[in-house]
A and B are shown apart, each in its own frame.
Chain A
Amino acid sequence: MIKRMFERLFQSQVWRSMFRHGLPESNRTRAETVFYNFFLHVHPTKVRKRSIRFTYTWGLGGLSLGLFIVLTATGALLMLYYRPSVPQAYWDMKDLQFVVSSGQYLRNMHRWAAHAMVAVVFLHMLRVFYTGSYRSPKEFNWVIGVFLLVMTILLSYTGYLLPWDQLSFWGISVGTNMVRAVPFGMGETISFLLLGGNVVGENALIRFYVLHCFIVPVAAVILMGIHFWRVRKDGGV
């Protein structure tokens, strides 16, 4: 009975308009599943067994993407409760902790996933180096990968200021003071541009917020698109 119902569903015009193939039961339909699916089409329909061996890649690239997805999801929800202004930003953290449903869980997820992502992306880079996967023709993809690592650190760093507590304030102050050491007055300029002033304050908060929630993620997504596309074109998964 139920089976027949499902069969009718899968053959209905509505279903067919969404998924143009039947259940992935034959090699053909399995190939079509990948081929016709927007999310899966970056993958080839067939892959080398060697390159999907877990101990070869450790799944680090995929995990990086996974963490990015988790961060985007939790981050979008956190944006609903967050005001990038002084001192409301801090009180919004308290509200997340005390009154928002699962607010503390969301914040924890976002925080720990962010730390994990910095580590995982770095490990991914090591893996690529030690398996020699940066060699021709994938030289440029390595370069993009390095920039993605920089993006990841930037994302984490810009997000670090947003809770507006002592930890974030002084973490960012220390970081931007390092930038000031750049010679020929460039350090001062970069730091001023970044903070919107000479010290960490409300301007810095709004700048870091925009960088964290829009500019850097968009840049990262674009780089990630190129990164994945090139992996595929160079014969990877």
Chain B
Amino acid sequence: MQKDFSAEVASDAKKVPRRIAFIKARTAARVKESDEEMAMTFPSLVVKEIIAFEIMVIVLTLVSLFVDAPLEWIANAEHTPNPAKAPWYFLGLQELLHYFPPVVGGVILPMLAVVALVVIPYFRVNVKREGLWKDDIRHTFVVLVTVGSLLSFILLLFEVYVMLVPTLVIIGCMLIPYISRKETGSIGWLGSRSLSWWIMTWFVTIAVILTAVGTLFRGPEWSWTWPWEGLY
């Protein structure tokens, strides 16, 4: 891009108001020069919103009619159930606690996750849109393998196989475009994924797997229990 600024131009000025955007740096979001079709908020959007809300309430109602909210025995401080589980969205954390010391699993890792989420928009790596292998391929490969090995080693050290396996799979996927170098198809699609995309995908996969394991696969003494052996 050579121009310092670009203007949004529409063919029908009555439909689309003119907007001017100033672009100061190359890394900023691109402004497409496009003639975007517009719609009246009412009814196009409002009706959709209402219908979506209605469907949501209907689904919730049907679920509520057939599945009762759990209510166990009255609280008894003298009897700890085995296993004692937190609500499901914390079971990923509880699963982490099973592997790592409490300070790491219960404090540092979740704090890191929240901080990492908060700062996402402020890091260049996240704003970049280029694929992972766009720049210096050799350098990227060395860094990726080093970081990947280090991570796998730590996970192996703590015997966190539920995290190790997805980590290896994702690193494998990241390496596919390096090996194959095809520009089209699914490999091409993989190749065009940015680093931030990969990190987020890794984080989400791990979070989902840990939560699922904690919810469905953990029984008394936090031992591995298949869902058909009983849900705890």
Interface residues of A (CB under 8 A from B): 24, 27, 30-31, 33-34, 40, 43-50, 52, 54, 59, 62-63, 66-67, 69-70, 86-87, 90, 93-94, 97, 104-105, 107-113, 115-116, 118, 125-126, 129-130, 132, 134-136, 138-140, 142-143, 146, 149-150, 153, 156-157, 160, 163-171, 173-175, 178-183, 187, 199-201, 237
Chain A proximity mask over B27-68: 1 for CB below 8 Å, otherwise 0: 011000000111111111110110011001100110111011
- Give the residues in chain A near B80, CB-CB below 8 Å: 170
B1 CB within 8 Å of chain A: no
> Among A67, A108, A136, A199, which residue has its beta carbon within 8 angstroms of that of B69?
A108
- Give the residues in chain B near A47, CB-CB below 8 Å: 38-39, 41, 44-45
Is A70 a contact partner of B57 (Cβ separation < 8 A)? yes
B86 CB within 8 Å of chain A: yes
Query: Given A52-B39, A166-B74, 14 other A-B contacts at CB below 8 A?
Result: A40-B41, A47-B38, A52-B48, A63-B52, A105-B64, A109-B61, A134-B126, A146-B117, A165-B73, A175-B90, A180-B102, A181-B106, A181-B107, A183-B103
> Among B40, B57, B65, which residue has its beta carbon within 8 angstroms of that of A46?
B40
A83: min CB distance to chain B, Å: 14
5 A–B contacts from the bound complex (CB under 8 Å): A24-B42, A43-B41, A62-B53, A69-B53, A165-B75
Is A109 a contact partner of B200 (Cβ separation < 8 A)? no
Query: For the complex, would chain A's binding face be called helix, strand, loop or mixed by DSSP majority?
Result: helix
A183: min CB distance to chain B, Å: 6
Interface residues of B (CB under 8 A from A): 28-29, 36-46, 48-49, 52-53, 56-57, 60-61, 63-65, 67-77, 79-81, 84-90, 93-94, 97, 102-103, 106-107, 114, 117-118, 120-122, 126-127, 129, 197, 200, 204
On whether A112 and B63 interact (CB within 8 A), knowing A33-B42, A157-B87, A164-B74, the answer reads yes
State A112–B65 Cα separation when bound (angstroms): 11
Q: How many A-B residue pairs have CB under 8 A?
A: 203
State A105–B65 Cα separation when bound (angstroms): 6
On whether A49 and B39 interact (CB within 8 A), knowing A169-B76, A178-B102, the answer reads yes
- Give the residues in chain A near B79, CB-CB below 8 Å: 166
A85: min CB distance to chain B, Å: 12
Closest to B44 in A: A52
- Give the residues in chain B near A140, CB-CB below 8 Å: 121
Is B48 a contact partner of A54 (Cβ separation < 8 A)? yes
State A173–B97 Cα separation when bound (angstroms): 15
State A33–B48 Cα separation when bound (angstroms): 16
> Among B57, B73, B118, B204, which residue has its beta carbon within 8 angstroms of that of A166?
B73
B97: min CB distance to chain A, Å: 7
B91: min CB distance to chain A, Å: 10
> Among A67, A171, A201, which residue has its beta carbon within 8 angstroms of that of B87?
A171
- Give the residues in chain B near A175, CB-CB below 8 Å: 86-87, 90
- Give the residues in chain B near A135, CB-CB below 8 Å: 29, 121, 127
> Among B40, B67, B94, which residue has its beta carbon within 8 angstroms of that of A30?
B40
A89: min CB distance to chain B, Å: 9
State A178–B74 Cα separation when bound (angstroms): 23
Is B42 a contact partner of A30 (Cβ separation < 8 A)? yes
Is B65 a contact partner of A49 (Cβ separation < 8 A)? no
- Give the residues in chain A near B106, CB-CB below 8 Å: 178-179, 181-182
On whether A93 and B37 interact (CB within 8 A), knowing A40-B42, A109-B61, the answer reads no
